[in-house]
Amino acid sequence: MNDTDGKKPLGLGGARPGSVKQSFSHGRTKNVVVETKRKKVVVPKPGATGGKPGNPALGDPSRRPAGISDAEMERRLAALRAAKAREAEEIAQREAEEKAREEERERRRAEIEAKEREEREREEALRLKAEEEERKAREEALRAQRKEEVRAKPAAKPAPADPAAAEAAAARAATKGVAVVGPRKTDRDRDDRSGGDRDRNAKGKGDEGRRAGKLSLSDIDGEGGRQRSLAAMKRKQEKARQKAMGYGQKAEKQARDVQLPETIVVSELAIRMAERVADVIKALMKMGMMVTANQTIDADTAELVIEEFGHRAVRVSDSDVEQVIDQVADKAEDLEARPPIITIMGHVDHGKTSLLDAIRKTNVVSGEAGGITQHIGAYQVTTESGAVLTFLDTPGHAAFTSMRARGAQVTDIVVLVVAADDAVMPQTIEAINHAKAAKVPMIIAINKVDKPAANAQKVRTDLLQHEVVVEEMGGEVQTVEVSAKTGLGLDNLLEAIALQAEILELSANPRRAAQGAVIEAKLDVGRGPVATVLVQNGTLKRGDIFVVGEQWGKVRALINDKGDRVDEAGPSVPVEVLGINGTPEAGDVLNVVETEAQAREIADYRIKAAKDKRAAAGAATTLEQLMAKAKADENVAELQVVVKADVQGSTEAIVQALEKIGNDEVRVRVIHSGVGAITESDVGLAEASGAPVIGFNVRANAPARGAANQKGVEIRYYSIIYDLVDDIKAAASGLLKNEVRENFIGYATIKEVFKVSGVGKVAGCLVTEGVARRSAGVRLLRDNVVVHEGTLKTLKRFKDEVKEVISGQECGMAFENYDDIRPGDVIEIFEREEVERSL
């Protein structure tokens, strides 16, 4: 039977997979169509067919569709039941989803109603508050009116009034919400109105005006008993006057620019915003942060708080504290000519200091240990022509590389001293590189030309290899032949320096805050930390507050190169500065600031930045790097030392020289370095680390010597850096393991193998080369491959045990704990020896 509207017949299509529909076959039997995802199955209607009890169609083939067996019928019925079960599950799932959606709608409806209720309650509270304020205002106005009336008629007595008229006036005032001021009702009036006996409340003839009930302020105001004082009247008039002039109005909130560092304390933030600390804490609590007034918050959170209070946040960093240092460019009209700064550089023992002595007409070299310069010196010289020159003398030893680099950084002209009898040496090349890096002109002073072996032309030729072309060869670099011993050519050298300085047109502004470079620093016992400063710009005066590196101070005294006290030092003038709170690093820049607070703040910031930098450099970023570093340290032997020197530059040079000593197996570690005498704390540190104390041009004080003797700490004194480096290198060499070398002394070939009771296998051998010794080590070679390495258990010649067998003789050998020997194997005999190593 087909559908009447042209659609597919029921059971043949149009139903979704898994649905059940009724259809009719050509007979009378009603069937059920089950549509699955794969195919349609037509099964008999349950209860209509079946062969089991309650299902007669299964046993009645006439009522069952043709060609369907019992098993097929059971399978179709199972599919029908499964389809019904799935449909029931879908219905239950849809009902559960609908119930959940309904619950969500109810919850949202309840939330909306709660919000609306809260809003209504808030509006009602605001309305009630406004009404209360309005009522209070009306009462105040009424009370003021009554006071004015009482004050206008203080002696007037209330006239009797008609009770009916008073009640009518009170009713009219009640409708308008305003109280009526009228005559006070007495007990007699009430008695007359009620018709009672008038004598009931009367106490006597003179009691007509007696008051009944409690006495209140309103009663006194109504009867003129309370008067406003003169002070109250004056306050009222003053308040009215201020209100008329606009003083009483609340001031508008001022928006501020709040400087915001990376972290800030809550109380400090409130001070910068000019707000109450409690309000700031309340704002942070609204943001979910439970903080106190002394707690630190980050910049992002603080910025949100600043914006909430209506201010503007101005981000600043810790490094902004250095902005107080004056970096304004000088105007051309403020610049004045200044003396040139000349640095004497060159190889060790080429005569730098001797040449400077000849110019200064002094004898500085005699005061240097070992005849070599180990300190950087600054001197000012006035020539015969009146020109003022500032000289820097740098050490020539390889350890003082950083000193020479500092000299090149602050100099205007480099005088490179080269010995005519020695030519160009390693430190000469290094000085040339420093001068080129600093981009300063050079003047070549060829010294020791008075010696018989002098060859100035060879010096000029060697300089060509390092791209230094002198004037004699068509270049621009001046050369002057001098002799520090005889004074030959010194005038020509000074003339060449003056000519070069004139070409450079050196100038500086002496009328500004001073700026200079620390040439050298030391810790003096009587004067404290002392720094040799070369002023580069401005004028350094006594009493100036300055910051230099990580230290700060106030200038207590200025001492020039001749040892005299001066009040000020201008550009290109070297002076010793006293008044520093600590020993600065050589090479630090000195800047004068306005206040002591600024200097201390800048020094604290620099200390913190240096500490963070050292921590970041020494920290391992990952666990693997940490483990690798620990493993590498286990395999390296360390020689720990404590270094104290007289000046900061020498300390730096010694530390750099010691750190270069070592290899993959041993290294030198400076656990502490400083300037000044060896103290008891240095000895304690050395004892805890098992390290010696190295003193360079310094000595230990009495407590330190006593502590060293008691604790067994070694203190070594040095005055020449060569000896110090050599001794430390020798001590570090003692930590190296001895090198083991093998010397081959002989070879033997196995001819036959014998088995001896109590001994094992014995090889009958022929010594083919060298000698076989009983105490030597042996290796067994089979096809040129080492199969065993060990020692001999026995070495016999015939029946006798012998110590050695020479080449060409036969012998018997047995190996210790090894029996796998074969004829044709080769025995390699060797001896080991240990050789001491050195760095």
Tell me the one-letter amino acid at 837: R
425 to each of 98, 248, 430, 436, how far by Cα in Å?
97, 88, 9, 17
Q: What mean pLDDT comes out for the span 88-110?
A: 92
**Position 381 pLDDT exceeds 60:** yes
Contact 762, 779 (CB under 8 A): no
Decide the pairing of beta strands 800-801 and 785-797: antiparallel
Q: What mean pLDDT comes out for the span 286-310?
A: 91
Q: Tokens for 706? A: 């006593």
Side-chain-side CA neighbours of residue 775 (13 Å): 4
Contact 590, 603 (CB under 8 A): no
Tell me if residue 145 falls in helix, strand or coil: helix
What span, in angstroms and rounded, lies between the C-alpha atoms of 271 and 83?
A: 77
Q: What is the pLDDT of residue 233?
A: 85
**Position 435 pLDDT exceeds 90:** no
What span, in angstroms and rounded, lies between the C-alpha atoms of 299 and 295?
A: 13
What span, in angstroms and rounded, lies between the C-alpha atoms of 721 and 58?
A: 117
Q: Per this entry, what is the length of the chain?
A: 839
Under DSSP, the state recorded for 38 is S
Listed range (2-6, 57-61, 396-400, 583-587) with the worst mean pLDDT: 2-6
Contact 386, 315 (CB under 8 A): no
Backbone angles phi, psi at 762, to 5 degrees: -125, 130
Helix (H) or strand (E) holding 733: helix 721-733
Backbone angles phi, psi at 630, to 5 degrees: -65, -40
Residue 187 makes CB contacts below 8 A (sequence gap 6+) with 201, 212
Using one digit for the tens of pLDDT, what is the confidence trace for 475-490?
A: 888 889 898 888 888 8
Contact 838, 736 (CB under 8 A): yes
Q: What is the pLDDT of residue 281?
A: 94
What span, in angstroms and rounded, lies between the C-alpha atoms of 723 and 697?
A: 13
Query: What separation, in Å, do the N-terminal and C-terminal C-alpha atoms of the chain show?
Result: 111
Band the pLDDT of 273: cuts 50, 70, 90.
very high
Band the pLDDT of 252: cuts 50, 70, 90.
low
Tell me if residue 349 falls in helix, strand or coil: coil
How does 150-176 read in b/e, with b if 16+ C-beta sit within 10 Å? beeeeeeeeeeeeeeeeeeeeeeeeee
Average of per-residue pLDDT values in the chain: 78
Q: What mean pLDDT comes out for the span 544-568?
A: 90
Residue 541 vs residue 653, higher pLDDT: 541
Q: What is the pLDDT of residue 412?
A: 86
How does 735-760 read in b/e, with b if 16+ C-beta sit within 10 Å? bbeeeeeeeebbbbbbeeeeeeeeeb
In this structure, how many other beta carbons lie within 10 angstroms of the beta carbon of residue 481?
19
Residue 642 makes CB contacts below 8 A (sequence gap 6+) with 670, 671, 672, 673, 682, 685, 686, 689, 691, 692, 693, 694
What span, in angstroms and rounded, lies between the C-alpha atoms of 472 and 459?
A: 12
The percentage of residues in the chain with a pLDDT greater than 90, rounded to a whole number, is: 18
Assign residue 679 a region (left: φ > 0; alpha: ψ between -120 and 50; beta: otherwise). Answer: beta
Backbone angles phi, psi at 528, to 5 degrees: 85, -160
Report how far Cα 200 is from the mean position of its chain's Cα atoms: 96
Using one digit for the tens of pLDDT, what is the confidence trace for 659-694?
A: 888 777 788 889 888 888 899 989 989 888 888 999
Tell me if residue 495 falls in helix, strand or coil: helix
**Position 37 pLDDT exceeds 60:** no
**Position 306 pLDDT exceeds 90:** yes
Under DSSP, the state recorded for 700 is B
Using one digit for the tens of pLDDT, what is the confidence trace for 739-783?
A: 778 888 999 999 999 888 777 889 999 999 999 998 889 999 998
Q: What mean pLDDT comes out for the span 37-44?
A: 47
- Count the helices and strands in the chain (H runs, E runs): 19, 36
Helix (H) or strand (E) holding 411: none
What span, in angstroms and rounded, lies between the C-alpha atoms of 791 and 417?
A: 64
Query: At which residue do the structure tokens 């005849």 appear?
Result: 371
Listed range (228-232, 566-570, 706-710) with the worst mean pLDDT: 228-232
Q: Tokens for 26? A: 């050509």
**Position 304 pLDDT exceeds 50:** yes
Q: What is the pLDDT of residue 353?
A: 79
Listed range (84-93, 373-382, 424-433) with the worst mean pLDDT: 373-382
What span, in angstroms and rounded, lies between the C-alpha atoms of 408 and 392?
A: 9
In this structure, how many other beta carbons lie within 10 angstroms of the beta carbon of residue 536?
18
Query: At which residue do the structure tokens 């009958």 appear?
Result: 764
E strand segments, 757-784:
760-773, 777-782
Q: What is the pLDDT of residue 767?
A: 92
790 to each of 576, 762, 810, how far by Cα in Å?
71, 15, 21
The percentage of residues in the chain with a pLDDT greater than 70, rounded to a whole number, is: 75
Contact 368, 374 (CB under 8 A): yes
In this structure, how many other beta carbons lie within 10 angstroms of the beta carbon of residue 689?
16
What span, in angstroms and rounded, lies between the C-alpha atoms of 605 and 325?
A: 14
Backbone angles phi, psi at 523, to 5 degrees: -115, 105
Q: Tokens for 505? A: 């047109």
In this structure, how many other beta carbons lie within 10 angstroms of the beta carbon of residue 291?
16
Q: What is the pLDDT of residue 250?
A: 60
The answer to whether the Cα torsion of 175, 179, 180, 184 is positive or negative is positive
CA 453-457-459 angle, 5° bins: 80
Contact 657, 732 (CB under 8 A): no
Using one digit for the tens of pLDDT, what is the confidence trace for 313-353?
A: 988 776 666 776 766 677 888 888 888 888 888 887 788 87
Q: What is the pLDDT of residue 465?
A: 87
**Position 537 pLDDT exceeds 60:** yes
Give this prediction's pTM: 0.51
Using one digit for the tens of pLDDT, what is the confidence trace for 621-639?
A: 566 666 776 666 666 788 8
Query: At which residue do the structure tokens 């008073």 appear?
Result: 166
Residue 532 makes CB contacts below 8 A (sequence gap 6+) with 376, 378, 518, 519, 520, 521, 574, 575, 576, 577
The answer to whether the Cα torsion of 456, 458, 461, 463 is positive or negative is negative
Q: What is the pLDDT of residue 543?
A: 92
What span, in angstroms and rounded, lies between the C-alpha atoms of 821 and 755?
A: 11
Under DSSP, the state recorded for 398 is G
What span, in angstroms and rounded, lies between the C-alpha atoms of 270 and 469?
A: 68
**Position 164 pLDDT exceeds 60:** no
Band the pLDDT of 16: cuts 50, 70, 90.
very low
Tell me if residue 794 falls in helix, strand or coil: strand
Backbone angles phi, psi at 717, to 5 degrees: -110, 140
**Position 42 pLDDT exceeds 80:** no
Helix (H) or strand (E) holding 543: none
What span, in angstroms and rounded, lies between the C-alpha atoms of 596 and 289?
A: 37
Query: At which residue do the structure tokens 């199972």 appear?
Result: 78
Q: What is the pLDDT of residue 69?
A: 84
Report how far Cα 399 is from the mean position of its chain's Cα atoms: 32
**Position 65 pLDDT exceeds 50:** yes
Band the pLDDT of 220: cuts 50, 70, 90.
low
Query: At which residue do the structure tokens 């009495």 appear?
Result: 702
Report how far Cα 359 is from the mean position of its chain's Cα atoms: 51
